[in-house]
């Protein structure tokens, strides 16, 4: 992740392809505004996300993490 | 299966002390299927320890490895060459695995990351209930397949006792009375008269009362003493 | 997971599970805003500072 200003949080979101990722797509299509802090990773299902992977994200320095499905 | 539970992170940190380089060794058998010490849990604990130690200001290097069975020499022997790189080894196997590591590799100190709790049955996902105490003299044939040694709070051989209330144990209403269950099985099989026979005291010398137990099978040994 | 983050010392509030359907774009945007706000209050991941000072 590119280093930006220190104050801007970096949040990783694991999004289910069929629910939250599609919702994010729709949000884009609807031109909704939301914080630029989010980095979306598409997963086939939110059940795919492992605790170990979430911990790795924190190890690498993310400030927050969302699992959305 | 042998069931274990991971020790609290705080306790593990305490055990590791000021070690700088740690190898976590998981086990691919019992503790994998009870989600306590398999490859996944090793990864999670390693990650947690790396982060916690860094936050507490004494960064630890933590590596991960999982062997198929930590209680057999064949499976742990390949670990030997890498062990000298580490200040300490943390085992996520049961107590047998931890001791196997210490016996096989006396120069490396292997510490336990789990509490080995019981021989239990996974009655549903996420729930393990004790079913066996490895007493060395199985009486399930007398008790319709329900073990009063493991499941009766008093380990009674001639139950139930007066503490059996509405099918549950007086010790805790979440514990079903083993002897109530045995009685119901006897009724179901139409053999309640078998329970009228008084069982004499059990032979505890084949349990822990006889000291550490050992089985020697001469027919299986590779070297015979003639 | 949150409990583990607490034990590590990162703060369990840093992780959140959200349930959305594919039609819930507005709720998605709201969830992102709410999470951003929570994280902003918590401050940056302390491991990032630790990494930088090394």
Q: Could you tell me where the DSSP H helices lie in A1-69?
A: 20-29, 51-59
- Over residues B131-143, the mean pLDDT reads 96
Task: Provide the token pair at B197.
Answer: 């026979």
Least confident of B24-38, B60-74, B143-157, B205-219: B205-219
Which residues of B are less than 8 Å from C50 in CB distance? 54-55, 59
Structural domain includes residue B126: no
> Same domain for B105 and B76?
yes
The pLDDT of residue B225: 60
**ipTM exceeds 0.95, yes or no:** no
Chains that touch C (3 or more CB pairs under 8 A): A, B
Q: Where are the domains of chain A?
A: 11-68
**Band (C50; pLDDT cuts 50, 70, 90):** low
> Same domain for B103 and B35?
yes
Indicate whether B136 pLDDT > 80. Answer: yes
Smallest Cβ–Cβ distance between C39 and the set A19, A64, A69 belongs to A64
* Complete DSSP assignment for B88-118: EEEE-S-HHHHHHHHHH-TTS-EEE-EEEEE
**Phi, psi for A68 (deg, rounded to 5):** -125, 125
The pLDDT of residue C41: 94
Indicate whether A8 pLDDT > 90. Answer: no
The pLDDT of residue A4: 47
The pLDDT of residue A7: 64
Q: Could you say which of B118, B149, B165 is where a domain stops?
A: B118
Percent of chain B with pLDDT over 90: 96
Which residues of B are less than 8 Å from A51 in CB distance? 40, 44
Indicate whether B72 pLDDT > 90. Answer: yes
Q: How far is A60 from chain B (nearest CA, A)?
A: 10
C49 touches chain A (CB under 8 A): no
Indicate whether A23 pLDDT > 80. Answer: yes
Indicate whether C54 pLDDT > 50. Answer: no
Q: By C-alpha distance, which of C9, B188, B159 is closest to A55?
A: C9
> Same domain for B11 and B91?
yes
Structural domain includes residue B87: yes
Q: Where are the domains of chain C?
A: 2-53
Task: Provide the token pair at A54.
Answer: 């979430």
Which residues of A are less than 8 Å from C23 in CB distance? 23, 26
CB contact under 8 A, C25 and A61: no
Indicate whether C53 pLDDT > 60. Answer: no
For B81-113, what is each residue's pLDDT tens digit?
Answer: 999 999 999 999 999 999 999 999 999 999 999
- Over residues A12-36, the mean pLDDT reads 95
- Range of B90's domain? 2-118
Q: How far is B94 from chain A (nearest CA, A)?
A: 22
CB contact under 8 A, C42 and A64: yes
Chains that touch A (3 or more CB pairs under 8 A): B, C
Percent of chain B with pLDDT over 70: 99
CB contact under 8 A, C7 and B59: no
Q: By C-alpha distance, which of B5, B81, B75, B76 is closest to B37?
A: B5
The pLDDT of residue B223: 78
Task: Provide the token pair at B139.
Answer: 């009486």
- Over residues A14-40, the mean pLDDT reads 95
Are A20 and A46 within 8 A, CB to CB? yes
């Amino acid at each position: 992740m590119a280093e930006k200003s220190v104050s801007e949080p970096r949040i990783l979101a694991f999004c289910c392809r069929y629910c939250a990722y599609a919702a994010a797509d729709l949000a884009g299509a609807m031109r909704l505004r939301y914080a630029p802090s989010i980095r979306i990773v598409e997963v086939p299902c939110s059940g795919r996300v492992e605790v170990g992977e979430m911990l790795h994200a924190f190890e690498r320095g993310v400030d927050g993490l969302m699992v959305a499905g | 299966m042998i069931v274990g539970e991971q020790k609290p992170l705080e306790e593990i940190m305490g055990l590791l002390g000021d070690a700088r380089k740690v190898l976590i060794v998981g086990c691919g058998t019992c503790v994998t299927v009870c989600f306590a010490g398999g490859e996944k849990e090793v990864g999670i604990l390693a990650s947690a320890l790396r982060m916690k130690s860094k936050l507490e200001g004494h960064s630890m290097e933590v590596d991960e490895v999982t062997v198929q069975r930590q209680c057999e020499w064949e499976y742990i022997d390949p670990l030997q060459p890498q062990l000298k790189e580490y200040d300490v080894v943390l085992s996520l196997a049961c107590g047998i695995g931890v001791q196997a590591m210490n016996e096989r590799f006396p120069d490396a100190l292997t510490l336990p990351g789990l509490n080995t709790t019981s021989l239990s049955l996974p009655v549903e996902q996420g729930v393990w209930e004790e079913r066996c105490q490895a007493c060395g003299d199985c009486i399930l044939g007398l008790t319709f397949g329900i073990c009063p040694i493991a499941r009766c709070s008093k380990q009674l051989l001639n139950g139930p006792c007066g503490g059996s209330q509405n099918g549950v144990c007086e010790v805790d209403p979440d514990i079903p009375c083993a002897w109530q269950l045995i009685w119901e099985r006897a009724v179901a099989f139409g053999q309640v008269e078998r329970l009228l026979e008084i069982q004499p005291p059990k032979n505890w010398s084949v349990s822990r009362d006889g000291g550490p137990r050992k089985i020697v099978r001469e027919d299986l040994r590779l070297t015979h003493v003639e | 997971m949150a409990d583990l983050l607490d034990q590590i010392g990162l703060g369990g509030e840093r992780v959140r599970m959200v349930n959305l359907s594919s039609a819930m774009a507005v709720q998605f945007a709201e969830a992102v805003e709410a999470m951003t706000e929570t994280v902003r209050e918590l401050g940056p991941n302390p491991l990032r500072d630790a990494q930088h000072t090394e």
